[in-house]
């Protein structure tokens, strides 16, 4: 071997590892860049950050809403430390559209939830907003001859590309988040929007969900037989949309289906499929989460005991049925009459982590729901 050949081999032996390391660093940087990019347009305002830890004060709680999962199991720690690398507290607006198409051009906000994710405890709390609240919706009056009030579910509709009553890229989810902020002080960090067809496809993609019906009352509410029930996507959607016992019972049914879906998604066999599921439904689920944040939520889901998932609603007795003249439809429409100051107070305590709290008045409902959701 000549001296020149030896030099060439020596040069290549040094260059090859450097190229491999360089390629690895570039790939890592590319992944980190991808993982940090939101999958959709971000919300149009920056929420006020909450403190990382809060201590509930029962003396400041004057009323308790219905809570379907209690008590909370706390994980003691000397200093606040978030699980799975997430921020300490995250507020998410989740909306389920009544659109049956694969597009997001139109659709009312059929199910509206505010989800508080506590990465420190860890704990997830879900608050329902009735869709038939008569609210002020910003940025729509120019398109409705000065009319600026409509039902809450229409805030999502008017922001969709089919109407596009405002030009922000966040669309219906962004306008709904702004409406919740304007009327009730909701400070959302992120949003997720899913239409009915995508919900059906997601449930089918994980081979359905399982719901255990413990008694006759629950059977009548869910319209399912007592015992174990395995539901495909269409069947799960029927349960979620069932309101034969009223609007508030439908919200309970939706929560039970969401609980069953969460349980399925945290199954070890399904957990490995989550990246593929995210990729498959990337164009069908509208969200401003980054892939990294979705990974943090998936990680937290595996660490949450059922007792640390709470579904809350404001007391039903605060709502009164009434009708109001809707100039857009030129008729009187059904709405819930309720004091927005009281609702805003509940929202404030919900976001602070001081409500809901365990209460003897909700223990029976909590035990029943816990049987269903475990």
222 burial type by CB count under 10 A (0-12 exposed, 13-18 middle, 19+ buried): buried
User: How many Å separate Cα 216 from the centre of its chain?
Assistant: 30
Positive or negative torsion for Cα 243, 114, 297, 355: negative
CATH number of 41-373: 3.40.630.190
| Whole-angstrom distance, CA of residue 373 vs CA of residue 171 | 33
CB atoms within 10 A of CB 57: 10
User: What are 83-103's pLDDT values in tens digits?
Assistant: 888 889 999 999 988 776 666
Lookup: tokens for 228? 């174990």
Position 364 scores a pLDDT of 42
State pLDDT tens for residues 256-283. 888 888 788 777 777 667 666 766 666 6
d(CA 46, CA 37): 17
Cβ count within 10 A of residue 360: 7
Give dist(CA 330, CA 33) in Å, integer.
Answer: 51
Phi, psi values for residue 338, rounded to 5°: -155, 150
The Cα-based distances of 245 to 113, 249, 305 in angstroms read 20, 6, 30
Q: Helix (H, G, I), strand (E, B), or coil: what is residue 93?
A: strand
- More confident of the two residues 251 and 292: 292
Distances (CA, A) of 306 to 136, 226, 256: 36, 21, 12
Q: Is the peptide bond before 356 cis (omega within 30 degrees of 0)?
A: yes
Per-residue pLDDT reduced to its tens digit, 161-192: 888 898 899 999 999 999 999 999 999 999 99
pLDDT of residue 3: 61
Question: To 5 degrees, how large is the angle CA 354–CA 359–CA 365?
Answer: 115
What are the tokens at 16?
Answer: 């090859």
What pLDDT is recorded for position 34?
56
Q: What confidence score (pLDDT) does residue 282 get?
A: 65
Q: Please report the pLDDT score of residue 159 as a whole number.
A: 92
The whole-number average pLDDT for the span 297-321 is 87
User: Looking at residue 55, what is its pLDDT?
Assistant: 37
pLDDT (mean) for 145-170:
91
- Cβ–Cβ < 8 Å for 312, 127: yes
C-alpha–C-alpha distance, residues 53 and 60, integer Å: 17
- Answer yes or no: is pLDDT of 127 > 90: yes
pLDDT at 14 over 90: no
Query: CB–CB of 194/277 below 8 Å?
Result: no
3-class secondary structure, 357: coil
- Residues with Cβ < 8 Å from 316, sequence gap 6 or more? 66, 248
* pLDDT of the residue at 26: 43
Q: Is the pLDDT of residue 61 over 60?
A: no
* pLDDT higher than threshold 70 for residue 197: yes
Q: Which pLDDT belongs to residue 119?
A: 94
283 phi, psi to nearest 5 deg: -90, 0
pLDDT score of 319 more than 90? yes
Among 126-140, 165-179, 303-317, 322-336, where is mean pLDDT lowest?
303-317
With a pLDDT cut of 70, the percent of the chain lying above it is: 71
What SS3 class is residue 284? coil
Q: Which of 22-36, 47-61, 153-167 has the lowest mean pLDDT?
A: 47-61
Per DSSP, what are the bridge partners of residue 175?
none
3-state secondary structure 114-167: EEEEECCCCEEEEEEECCCEEEECCCCHHHCCCCCEEEHHHHHHHHCCCCCCCC
For residue 358, what pLDDT band results from cuts at 50, 70 and 90? low
Nearest to 316 by CA among 243, 257, 249, 254: 249
For tokens 């349960």, name the residue.
239
| SS3 at position 324 | strand
């Amino acid at each position: 071997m000549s001296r020149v050949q030896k030099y060439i081999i020596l040069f290549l032996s040094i260059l090859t590892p450097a190229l491999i390391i360089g390629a690895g660093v570039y790939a890592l940087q590319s992944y980190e860049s991808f993982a940090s990019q939101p999958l959709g347009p971000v919300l149009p305002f920056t929420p006020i950050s909450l403190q990382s830890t809060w201590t509930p004060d029962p003396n400041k709680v004057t009323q308790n809403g219905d809570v379907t999962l209690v008590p909370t199991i706390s994980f003691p720690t000397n200093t606040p430390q978030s699980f799975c690398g997430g921020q300490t507290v995250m507020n998410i607006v989740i909306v389920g559209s009544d659109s049956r198409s694969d597009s997001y051009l139109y659709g009312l906000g059929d199910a509206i939830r505010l989800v508080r994710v506590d990465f420190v405890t860890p704990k997830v709390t879900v608050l329902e907003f009735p869709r038939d609240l008569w609210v002020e919706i910003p940025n729509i009056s120019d398109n409705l001859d000065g009319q600026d009030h409509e039902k809450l579910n229409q805030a999502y509709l008017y922001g969709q590309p089919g109407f596009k009553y405002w030009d922000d890229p966040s669309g219906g989810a962004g306008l709904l988040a702004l409406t919740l902020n304007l009327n009730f002080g909701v400070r959302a960090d992120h949003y997720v929007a899913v239409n009915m067809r995508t919900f059906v496809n997601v449930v089918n993609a994980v081979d359905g969900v399982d719901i255990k019906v413990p008694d006759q009352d629950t059977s009548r509410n869910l319209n399912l037989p007592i015992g174990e029930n395995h539901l495909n996507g269409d069947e799960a959607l029927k349960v979620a949309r069932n309101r034969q016992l009223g609007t508030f019972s439908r919200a309970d049914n939706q929560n039970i289906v969401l609980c069953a879906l969460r349980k399925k998604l945290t199954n070890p066999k399904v957990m490995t499929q989550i990246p593929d599921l995210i990729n498959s439904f990337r164009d069908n689920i509208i969200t401003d989460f980054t892939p990294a944040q979705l990974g943090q939520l998936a990680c937290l889901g595996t660490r949450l005991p059922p007792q640390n998932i709470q579904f809350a609603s404001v007391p039903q007795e605060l709502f009164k049925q009434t009708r109001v003249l809707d100039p857009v439809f030129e008729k009187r429409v059904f709405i819930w009459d309720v004091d927005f100051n009281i609702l805003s107070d509940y929202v404030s305590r919900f976001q602070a982590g001081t409500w809901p709290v365990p209460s003897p008045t909700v223990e029976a409902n909590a035990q029943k729901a816990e049987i269903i959701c475990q």
